[in-house]
Amino acid sequence: MKIKAIKTSTLNVSAPPPRNTYYPHNTYVVARIQTDEGLEGLGYTQLVGGDGASSVRAYLEDNLIPRLIGEDPLHIGKLWQKMYDADRGLRKKGIPMYAISAIDIGLWDLFGKSVGRPLWQLWGAVTDCVPVYGGGGFLSYTVNDLVKEAEATFAIGARHYKMKVGLPNVMENVERVRALRKAVGDDVNLLVDANQRLDVHTNIRLANLIEPFNIFWYEEPVYADSISQCAEVARRINIPVATGENEYTRYGFRDLVEQKAATILNPDIMRCGGFSELLKISHLAAAYDIQIAPHLAPELSIHVLAAIPNALLLEWSITRTPIWREEPRVVDGLMSVPNRPGHGMEFSEAALSKYLVK
Ligand SMILES: [Mg+2]
């Protein structure tokens, strides 16, 4: 089998309220890998808020696709390394890794389709469903928005809900956490996410103030560029630190693990290097009994989480725009694996006609 063409496209998917008060839309950059045997693999990555999408697409078009035409798409390890090695003047973080991730996701989809199996089965399944947590709780939400989204999340059986805590006024964050805990009761898990917005001391102060509200994890306290500062926060607060959505490849996650920057890792399959790299990162973490709770893309990450011993939670949201031909099924807070060959996902006709830019 040979790669005949890789067709790129862009989808601007509008966010529903109240999420759209923070991000009006998110952008998918899509790479459809076509072969001489007629099989097609669907690769994609997502840029939150859309920033960087045109750069990712340009990197795909200019740097990656020309190197892949004529190659055997089933030699995924070889092609991943070829993409990674291609450009010695651009470190593989950010834009290039979003693009490499999209291709890797498409190659694995093709591989699964070629053998007629869903990916989770190929990697040694340990389960066929994984618990989800409700992501959302943006800084632009009112307390009422927070409570409504959290309650809707718990109503479908999920036991975890995550809110943001990056407001510059520490006490305002504390009051929002207090109000949410009071509204939802003590029987559910609350997670908080600073989205790199606070400094070391502010994080420590905030974590101490919200510790009485029984917080499940404290996410991405400082700039992702400063692993030592994240490690300092992790050492000095009593809430487990989670991080990794802005980290890339096994090398970046090795540094997080070695420096004890987090006890839970949040790799994003659409950024960190695709299925190939998420598997390596998960196995590395397993050797340290560190759990994996991927950032976004639950419909893809579930294939890896269903095949590793250290799966924790999938990020999902009750407040989302349906874009899939078959939406992932969540029952009693558990997402079922998409049981179709490859990763099993395809954009719906309605989503393509509504959101396709070109
Ligand atoms: Mg986050």
Task: Sort residue 124 into left (φ over 0), alpha (ψ -120 to 50) or beta.
Answer: left
Tell me, in angstroms, the distance from the centre of ligand 1 to residue 72's CA. Answer: 36
Would 343 be classed as within a structural domain? no
Tell me, in angstroms, the distance from the centre of ligand 1 to residue 195's CA. Answer: 5
pLDDT band at 358 (very low <50, low <70, confident <90, very high): confident
| Token pair for 128 | 């066929």
Tell me, in angstroms, the distance from the centre of ligand 1 to residue 6's CA. Answer: 31
User: Which of 85-89, 297-301, 305-309 is least confident?
Assistant: 85-89
Rounded distance between C-alpha atoms, residue 188 and residue 165, angstroms: 18
Tell me, in angstroms, the distance from the centre of ligand 1 to residue 167's CA. Answer: 14
Across 303-308, average pLDDT: 98
260 and 187 both lie in a single domain: yes
Q: Fill in the DSSP letter of residue 329.
A: P
Instruction: Estimate to the nearest angstrom the gap between the alpha carbon of 59 and the chain centroid.
Output: 21
329 and 225 both lie in a single domain: yes
List the strands of the sheet with 3-14, edge to edge: 3-14, 25-35, 40-47
Continuous segment of H or E residues that includes residue 58 = helix 53-59
Query: What range defines the domain where residue 307 resides?
Result: 121-336
The CATH number of whichever domain residue 39 belongs to comes to 3.30.390.10
125 and 112 both lie in a single domain: no
Nearest CA-CA partner of 16 in 348, 319, 354: 319
Question: What is the identity of the amino acid at 127?
Answer: T
Q: Which residues contact 236 (CB under 8 A, 6 or more apart)?
A: 204
Q: Which residues contact 351 (CB under 8 A, 6 or more apart)?
A: 11, 13, 321, 322, 323, 324
- Three-state DSSP at 173 gives helix
Residue 290 pLDDT greater than 80, yes or no: yes
Specify whether the CB–CB gap between 274 and 246 falls below 8 A: no
pLDDT band at 285 (very low <50, low <70, confident <90, very high): very high
Residue 271 pLDDT greater than 90, yes or no: yes
pLDDT in tens, 124-173: 999 999 999 999 999 999 999 999 999 999 999 999 999 999 999 999 99
Tell me, in angstroms, the distance from the centre of ligand 1 to residue 194's CA. Answer: 7
Residue 87 pLDDT greater than 90, yes or no: no
149 and 258 both lie in a single domain: yes
Tell me, in angstroms, the distance from the centre of ligand 1 to residue 345's CA. Answer: 24
Rounded distance between C-alpha atoms, residue 307 and residue 219, angstroms: 24
Nearest CA-CA partner of 134 in 119, 145, 118, 120: 145
Tell me, in angstroms, the distance from the centre of ligand 1 to residue 268's CA. Answer: 10
* Cis preceding-peptide flag for 18 (omega within 30 of 0): yes
Rounded distance between C-alpha atoms, residue 333 and residue 146, angstroms: 19
Tell me, in angstroms, the distance from the centre of ligand 1 to residue 253's CA. Answer: 16
Report the domain count for the chain.
2
Question: What is the identity of the amino acid at 295?
Answer: H
CA angle 53/132/273 to nearest 5° reads 35
- Residue 180's pLDDT is 98
Instruction: Estimate to the nearest angstrom the gap between the alpha carbon of 336 and the chain centroid.
Output: 17
54 and 160 both lie in a single domain: no
The owner of tokens 């400094």 is 199
Would 341 be classed as within a structural domain? no
Tell me, in angstroms, the distance from the centre of ligand 1 to residue 192's CA. Answer: 9
Tell me, in angstroms, the distance from the centre of ligand 1 to residue 168's CA. Answer: 17
Specify whether the CB–CB gap between 307 and 286 falls below 8 A: no
Nearest CA-CA partner of 224 in 176, 177, 272: 272
The CATH number of whichever domain residue 243 belongs to comes to 3.20.20.120
Continuous segment of H or E residues that includes residue 256 = helix 249-258
Per-chain mean pLDDT for the chain: 97
Residues annotated as catalytic are 164, 295
Residue 208 pLDDT greater than 80, yes or no: yes
Would 342 be classed as within a structural domain? no
pLDDT band at 116 (very low <50, low <70, confident <90, very high): very high
- Provide, rounded to the nearest whole percent, the portion of the chain with pLDDT above 70: 100
pTM score > 0.85 for this model? yes
Q: Which residues make up the environment of ion ligand 1, defined by Cβ < 5 Å?
A: 193
